[in-house]
Amino acid sequence: MTPAAPRVLTILGATGSIGVNTVAVAQALGVRVHAVSAHRKVDELARIAVAGQASVAVIADESLLPQLRRALSGSAVQAQAGPEALCAISSCPQVDTVMTAIVGAAGLPATLAAVRAGKRVCIANKEPLVMAGELIVREAASSGAELLPVDSEHSAIFQCLEHHHAEEVAQLVLTASGGPFRQVLDLSQVTREQALKHPTWSMGPKITIDSATLMNKSLEIIEARWLFGIAAERIRVLIHPQSVIHSMVTYRDGSVMAQLGRPDMRVPIQYSLTYPRHAPGPVQPPDFASLGALTFEEPDLARFPSLRMGFHAATAGGLLPTIMNAANEMAVADYLAGHGRFIDIFQVIERALAQAPRVAAPRLDEILAADTDTRAQLSMR
């Protein structure tokens, strides 16, 4: 094991795309996994827990606890269930690092539990930061928790910002592949299969659709705003189809720092675990001679109104990011379930934002209520 990673880990969302990669990276580093969680994939969770010699496995859906117990019988892994158990494995004293890889707002309570317990919190699950970034950053400052970005763009910016101060920064530049519809002029006819085929990254279904709508970039603007303490007005999005430059920081003297690499999430996952060291890893650097040109374009806000909405929510703050996120989660779940057209996702979010109440610096209970209310209103339609 590298000396920078003497860590005991909880992996929230261990059965997902980030979760499975984290299990592999932890194993390669020799990091002990204390606890793992999933939502409903009982057998997959049990297999991961037993193979990784975890002490605890938590299934978020409490009705599946008997099934999990059966799947773990004869092993040393303890079966637990429900939201309180997720918070317990995120804050227990046996663990010093928590990988948040649950998808969506459902990850907020466990993220907050890890932050309040002063853990190193490796943040893949960006939606809690979108909803309650101000609160999470404040709680981390008081508990001493370390917030380590896992999103490749934020990991890149984090590295470009090392040893620098926010006031030296002119702009954060978030790069975006542009998704599968970068060159499609009429988005009214695109299919689900096309939307689920990301050109450069392999990810879970929700973030893959978010990448196709560019809503993922909107969530990332808000994520960056809180992680790096830089106002949304100083964050720019640039389309970079090759996904080689993961993001950049421009400084006030005109110099630009960028972080480059292959599009493979094991790299930022590993760096969040081994920070401040770069440990040996399974991924080779890009072969620059065979890469060809690296190109850049402005995003098209007319075809991708989600990005305009994201800048608006990031700038206005309050409950707008929570409402935008809840509406997006509902619209994407509906779309993934086979309903509606791709462009309906934009309309659902637009309508929810138009009705959003103005609340400056909302408390946690107001954020949670806005999330619940938005979902309730949309499910009545």
Q: Which residues bind ligand NDP (CB under 6 A)?
A: 13-19, 38-41, 60, 101-103, 106, 124-127, 151, 201, 203-207, 265
Task: Select 250 or 275, whichever has its Cβ closest to ligand NDP.
Answer: 275
Rounded to a whole number of angstroms, the minimum distance from the CB of residue 175 to ligand NDP is 13
Number of H helices, E strands in the chain: 16, 11
Identity of the residue, 87 or 250, whose beta carbon is nearer to ligand NDP in the bound complex: 87
Calpha distance 101→270 (Å, rounded): 14
Spatial separation of the C-alpha atoms in residues 205 and 197, rounded to whole Å: 10
Instruction: For residue 235, count CB atoms less than 10 angstroms from its CB and return exposed for 0-12, middle for 13-18, buried for 19 or more.
Output: buried
φ, ψ at 91 (rounded to 5°): -125, 0
Nearer to ligand NDP, 55 or 111 (CB): 111
Q: How far is the CB of 264 from ligand NDP (least distance, A)?
A: 9
User: Whose Cβ is closer to ligand NDP: residue 5's or residue 265's?
Assistant: 265
For ligand NDP, the closer CB: 250 or 267: 267
Q: How far is the CB of 21 from ligand NDP (least distance, A)?
A: 8
Report which of 65, 99, 97 is spatially closest to residue 82, judged by C-alpha positions. 65
CB 251 → ligand NDP: shortest distance, Å? 26
Please report, for residues 82, 100, 289, 369, the alpha-carbon distance to residue 365 in angstroms, rounded to integers and kept in the order given: 20, 21, 53, 6
Q: Rounded to the nearest whole angstrom, what is the least distance from the CB of residue 346 to ligand NDP in the complex?
A: 19
Q: Classify residue 376 by burial, with Cβ atoms within 10 Å: 0-12, 13-18, 19+.
A: exposed
Give the shortest CB-253-to-ligand NDP separation in angstroms: 31
Cα separation, 221 vs 236, in Å, equals 8
Q: Are β-strands 97-100 and 78-81 bridged in parallel, bridged antiparallel, or unpaired?
A: unpaired
Residue among 139 and 210 whose Cβ is closer to ligand NDP: 210
Convert 38-47 to b/e letters by CB count within 10 Å (16 or more is b).
Answer: bbebbebbbe
Which residue lies nearest ligand NDP, judged by its C-beta?
Answer: 16
From the CB of 30, what's the least distance to ligand NDP, in Å? Answer: 23
User: 80 or 250: whose CB is closer to ligand NDP?
Assistant: 80
Q: How many residues are there in the chain? A: 381
Q: Specify the residue, 250 or 309, whose C-beta has the smaller distance to ligand NDP.
A: 309
Nearest approach, Cβ of residue 39 and ligand NDP (Å): 3
343-to-140, 309, 311, 322 alpha-carbon distances in Å:
38, 14, 19, 21
